[in-house]
Structure 1
Amino acid sequence: MRIVKLESLMADAGWRTACYLKVVTDEGIVGWSEYGEHFGTAGVTGVIHALGELVIGMDPLQIERIAALLRGRTIQAQGGINQNAIAAILNALLDIKGKALGVPVHALLGGSLRDRVPFYWSHFGTYRVRNHAQLGVPPLKGYEAWAALGEEARARGVKAVKTGLIAEDGNGGFANFGPGFAYTPGYPELNLDRTVLTTLRKQLAAIREGLGDDVALMLDVNFHFKTEGYVQLARAVEPFGLDWLELDTYDCQALSHIRQMAPCPIASLEALYGRNGIRPFLEKGTVDIAIIDLAWNGYLEAFKMAALAETHQVNVSTHNFCGGLLSDVISVHFAAAIPNIRLVEFDVEDVPWKSEFLTAPLIVEGGEIVVPQGPGWGVDVDEAFVRSHPPRS
């Protein structure tokens, strides 16, 4: 069997573009993966196809050999866009191998440990703040709306939710808060304004009221502050019993200090690449939960990263916000196969047509996702639907 073609397909996924890679073999077996260009990875499609030229004619079942070749050809600029491109190619090859052998991907590296994986409702409320019209739901108005959303999650059997930071818009509603991404004022100094804490306390109190005490609550504050601000914020949210506070920094010493000072578990590392990227952070005991991105690192490398985390008694959660559903499927295969899974990131609310991107639905029941059992990923991208929904100009 040989690789004969790589093709990218794009589709409208609301506020972002769903990006799929199709790898075709001379025996007619097709492998699929998903990647993203909507947040910090612009241009990855071109890199995928530049690197893809190197694998044309190669045996798609020799995944480690192809991985070694692609790493070698990008060694002087490892990580970043190059690693995103390598991940997209290798993830598609795993789909091909599973189909060729007639087994699901989670069976390729030792088999699954579970038939269902636990997830958390990601972007809880914050997607409604930013994208309510595309979600087909009303905007959140007043803190009582956050409490009502918490009640809705509990009624749906969701076991865990993760929200993010917001700001009051002066009209009873809320606005996006994102200085760490240079979306809103405050970059690059990234100081913690006390009004942020006031708003956050009201938000978390309302969510906790709606969720009750039995549903896990997490908070993601991304790259929005410096070390001092993260420590202040961690202390401020102590009364709300967070299952974890998630934050990002590239400074190992800073994250170690934050974890030592924080009264709650710390989750991080989603912005890092590969075992070499997370190793010093694990050695310095910086996290309680390691976040790993399957679309950025690739299933194969992520599996090894999870094994490394296991040697430090650290469990893993997935980072996943591509938007085209196949990335959810890939995360579920990963979570089924590693021993140290904590939770899978999953967007319960998304654009109404998201389920149409795949040939079969992802089954979600309460707080768990059923692991697909078909060959490869167990589902394929619905090409006809994707082609009928081109990205918005």
Structure 2
Amino acid sequence: MLKQFFIICSGADTDILEQCSKGEQNKYAGIGATVFFTALMAFIAASYALYTVFDNLFTAIAFGFIWGLLIFNLDRYIVSTIKKTGKVIDEFIQATPRIILAVIIAVVIAKPLELKIFEKEINQVLLEQKNQLTLENKTQIAAQYSPPIEELNNNITALQNQIDTKETEVNELYDTYIAEAEGREGTKLLGKGPVYKEKREKHDALLAELQQLKAENKAKINDAESNIAKLKGDYEAEVITTQPIINSFDGLMARVNALGELPWLPSFFIFLLFLVIETSPIFAKLLSPKGAYDLKLEDQETALKTNVAQNKNQRELLLKTDYAINDRIYTDIEQEEELYTYKRKKARELMQLQADAFFKNQKNIL
């Protein structure tokens, strides 16, 4: 039962193969088994690849099954259409397009399985890439918010400097009128004289200005700090909003690119393995000698071709003979007076009917 199934997978004619030896049947059963297991590997590989895309098991299995059937049909067609002619060059030229197709199929099958085999290493590469993307994302977002925040900080510093400068002036005036009262500077007279009062009034006026400046600048500083806090909040919110996009950076293309960052030699050998599996049925047919199955198939096909050629030749001769007979018949009756008189009579009647119809039509128009 299993042997018969694998023979069907090979695309061989089961009726012809039943007339061949057991060895010939086993050869095609082996070819069919290779075709079947290649399709099975294609199903597994496609299911995994599509699972990374759709993130849904049932969808991935459904599409993977369709892909496996497609690969099975292609492989079966490739193997079944290679005919043994006994000429190596002709057979190789015949198989070249099929080998190219087999290489493409091997690449398609091998790549998803490479992604699964090197999944841990790929996850490590993706983690590093995500971290790098996170840093770059924060830098890019910060480039939008840093200039206004820096400008507001500069404004706060300038406002604070105004207060500090005014406080310095007030403190200097305070020291001046205190020194005047103590007799250490100015008039050198101890007590609170006119000069002291003048300096005290100047200090008090500047102190009032300082209090007003502090109130105004404090309000401006509070507004600036509120704007800074809002900008920082917007920055954090945008970072949080964009982070899920970076976290989901693990699709099929990202994993393929991450695989490219790993050493190429292991992936290359896995590809060679599937290339050998995919092309083995083709090379098995090319390298195997012309067997009983090939001879019987060739005999059946050439017999059919001969029969078709004979039928075509007979139809051409029949048509040619029919033309010759018709020519002789019409030549013989060409001079018969009775036929001439009959056709003349019918032609006359036809012309009369045409004349009557034309007259009737013209009369209706008038």
TM-score bin (small chain): under 0.3
TM-score when normalising by structure 1: 0.21
Which structure has the highest strand share of the two?
1
Q: Select the structure of larger CA radius of gyration.
A: 2
Q: TM-score, normalised by structure 2?
A: 0.22
